[in-house]
Amino acid sequence: MARRGHIPIRMCIFCGRRAPKGELLRLALDETGYPVYDPGQKLPGRGAYLCGAEDCLKKLKTPRGQKRLQRAFRGRMKGLRPELVAALLGHGEA
């Protein structure tokens, strides 16, 4: 059980920036194996965190970025939907 006042620290899978969990964007796999944005950070299963910087979000589109995301999900990711990348890029600008 978490201690009262304890704030978990997570790391961006691209740049390595460490920050409190609530400051990072969390991706989780849906039931079909595709990553989805998890704004409430409550979806079940393993998550991957992004810092939200435009450079890190753009890396999602690259083959190397997708390989890193695949590794974060321990090989269970089936692919990356383009609308997820577009939605996250829009979130980063807001």
What is the DSSP code (8-state) at residue 40? T
Residue 60 within a domain: yes
* CATH code for position 45: 3.30.1230.10
pLDDT confidence of residue 94: 39
Whether residue 49 contacts residue 10, with contact meaning beta carbons closer than 8 Å, is answered with yes
pLDDT digits (tens, 9 = 90+) for 4-16: 789 999 999 999 9
Residue 41 within a domain: yes
Q: Is 50 helix (H, G, I), strand (E, B) or coil?
A: strand
Whether residue 24 contacts residue 43, with contact meaning beta carbons closer than 8 Å, is answered with no
pLDDT digits (tens, 9 = 90+) for 43-88: 999 999 999 999 999 999 999 999 999 999 999 999 999 899 888 8
Where does the pLDDT of residue 2 fall: very low under 50, low under 70, confident under 90, or very high at 90 and above?
low
Residue 85 within a domain: yes
pLDDT confidence of residue 66: 94
Domain hosting residue 27, numbered range = 9-93
Total number of domains in the chain: 1
Residue 3 within a domain: no
CA 22 to chain centre: 12
Residue 1 within a domain: no
pLDDT confidence of residue 90: 80
Residue 25 within a domain: yes
What's this model's pTM, rounded to 2 decimal places? Answer: 0.86
Residue 2 within a domain: no
